[in-house]
Structure 1
Amino acid sequence: MRYTITSLVALILTACSVYSPDAGHEVVLIEKPWLFGHGGVDPEPVKTGRTFAAVTTDGVDVYMQPRKYETELHDTMTSDGVPISFHAIMVLQVADSVALIKNFGPSWYLNNLEEPFKTMVRQAVRKRGMNETAISTTALDEIDNEIRDQLVAFIRDKALPVRLITMTVGRANPPDSIKNQRIETATQEQRVQTEKQVKLAEDQRMAAEQSRASADNAYREAMHLSPEQFIQLETIKMQRVVCGPEGKAACTFIQNGATPVYNLGR
């Protein structure tokens, strides 16, 4: 008797499917009877706990939390004919798992949203030039807002039971040739600025030298000195600074061709 009960329980279990979704998931049951009934999608999803279903019933796991979908868009043409690339991101959240699987199937994003999303991005970028798209953050914000409004309208019109949480086309990536040209242009512009600063410093130094020369010449004329006398005066001033009480050098001055005599015995 005990063997019979055990066998019966084992038979029942092997004839059933067991579903126990994790937190944040729901399982939509799709009944596919072999002999009787019409089957179809069960109106109530499996949300928590453990559920037993017929062996002919399939379960589709649906993630109910916000999920990120990423799309690479290569060679998206701008209005001036420059191909740029984007790494676009869209975050969606399922609102009704049963309606989603019943009306759009497990591959609902791939079949209904991915290509329209790419088309929206291409059309928005085609209205703008490479410079404003690749450099100006204002242009990218405008593109994001334009596509976001189109996506919300598209999801509503198609009756997709999902919510758009956020989306962005990300940073625009121009071709390497354009990047190299921009680096070269920036280098040249920096070189020009550096040369301007060097010339400005040289002009300021020349102006300072000219101003000092004018001041020295005005002093010489006021003292009624000849150029030779002024040079001699400046020499004396220099010697006084170097060899005077405040100077650090021991100096011997030789004038008029005289030969110095040193006491070597001391």
Structure 2
Amino acid sequence: MHRTQRHLKLALVLLLAGLSGCSRISTDPGTQTVLIDKPWFFGHGGVQDSAQEPGSGWYWWSTSGIVVPVVPIKIDERFDDLITAGDNIPVDFNSYLQLQIKDPVAIIKKYGERWYDNNLKEQYRTIVRNEAKQYTLNQLLSDSQSVQKLESSILAATSKLVKDNGLPVAVLDINLGKVLPDGKILDEINETGRQKQRSKSMEAARQAEEQRKEAERARAAADNAYRNEMSLSPEQFIKLEEIKAKKMLYEQCHKGCTVIVSDGATPLVVGR
């Protein structure tokens, strides 16, 4: 009995000793943890062949982990003073690169934790600069087809770069943010836009006035043609128009008002 108790105590001591040399590593959903062994006394170090899936596990205290996202990630790159084609105007904008790591273990084992900064960042920025500087300011500002074409060419070139370098990464998408020229140039563009809008408004007003005048000329011509057809003098025609006007007043005010007419005077309308 005493021997059994001694064995249990020994097993407990060994278990506690083992646990004191272990650490717990947890992995959140949407990520994997690449495990790296760094033994101090014996065994082989390096990246383990399998990553830890979401959950937790116990490892030797000399084992560490690098968390790698396996869901799509978005990388924001800022570009300042990029010179446009033709007009040579410096512009600022952001590009948004969407990537997804396909093999966390391979990317850490071959390229390390800073794989993007060391193997893709500068090459990608060069691609964006070289492609964007082929477009004019107006194309980048207001031509959606040109911007879509630019994004497609950047996406294709970046995908080829990743494939040629053997990076276990999928290039999902590329989007450009709003392109903004220098502040003074932007003020000039806005002022030019306001002037164009004022010119459009003035031209619309001029055309409306011309249409009104044309309508009046057409009405006058029709009245004159009618007067000639009826063989009326100008005075007779004016008198006839007055009679028509009085008749219209009578009809409109038949139930709602009283019309008092005196020769040579403007009709007087009195409400009941």
Shorter-chain TM-score: which interval? 0.7 to 0.9
Listed as ranges, the matches of 1:82-101 within 5 Å are 82-101=89-108
Bigger shift: residues 204-213 or 150-159 = 204-213
Q: What are structure 1's unaligned runs of at least 5 residues?
A: 256-266
Whether the 8 Å CA contact 1:86–1:169 is kept in 2: the answer is yes
**Alpha-carbon offset, residue 15 of structure 1:** 0.6
Whether the 8 Å CA contact 2:253–2:259 is kept in 1: the answer is no
Q: Which amino acid aligns with 2:95?
A: A
2 CA distance for matches of 1:233 and 1:43? Answer: 106
**Alpha-carbon offset, residue 243 of structure 1:** 5.3
1 CA distance for matches of 2:170 and 2:224? Answer: 85
Whether the 8 Å CA contact 1:242–1:249 is kept in 2: the answer is no
The DSSP-based 3-state class of the residue aligned with 1:99 is helix
1:114 corresponds in structure 2 to 121
1:160 and 2:170 correspond: no
250 and 168 in structure 1: CA distance in 2 versus 1, 3 angstrom threshold = closer
1:21 and 2:30 correspond: no
1:145 and 2:169 correspond: no
Q: Say which of 199, 224, 233 aligns to 1:192.
A: 199
2 CA distance for matches of 1:74 and 1:36? Answer: 52
**Alpha-carbon offset, residue 131 of structure 1:** 0.9
1:45 corresponds in structure 2 to 51
The DSSP-based 3-state class of the residue aligned with 1:200 is helix
Deviation track 1:71-113 (CA, whole Å, cap 9, x = no partner) reads 2223222123222222211222222222211111111112222
Q: CA RMSD in A?
A: 2.8
Q: Which amino acid aligns with 2:60?
A: A
1:214 and 2:201 correspond: no
1 CA distance for matches of 2:191 and 2:11? Answer: 84
1 CA distance for matches of 2:251 and 2:52? Answer: 103
**Alpha-carbon offset, residue 205 of structure 1:** 2.2
TM-score normalised according to structure 2 size = 0.80
1 CA distance for matches of 2:39 and 2:242? Answer: 117
Bigger shift: residues 243-252 or 95-104 = 243-252
Q: What are structure 2's unaligned runs of at least 5 residues?
A: 1-5, 265-272
1 CA distance for matches of 2:128 and 2:251? Answer: 82
TM-score normalised according to structure 1 size = 0.81
**Alpha-carbon offset, residue 4 of structure 1:** 4.8
Q: Identity of counterpart residues, as a percentage? A: 34
Deviation track 1:150-194 (CA, whole Å, cap 9, x = no partner) reads 212211222212121222224423334444333333332232232
Whether the 8 Å CA contact 2:30–2:54 is kept in 1: the answer is no
19 and 86 in structure 1: CA distance in 2 versus 1, 3 angstrom threshold = same
216 and 41 in structure 1: CA distance in 2 versus 1, 3 angstrom threshold = closer
1:8 and 2:14 correspond: yes
1:31 and 2:37 correspond: yes
Q: Say which of 134, 140, 145 aligns to 1:133.
A: 140
Higher strand share: 2
2 CA distance for matches of 1:117 and 1:24? Answer: 25
Whether the 8 Å CA contact 1:134–1:174 is kept in 2: the answer is no
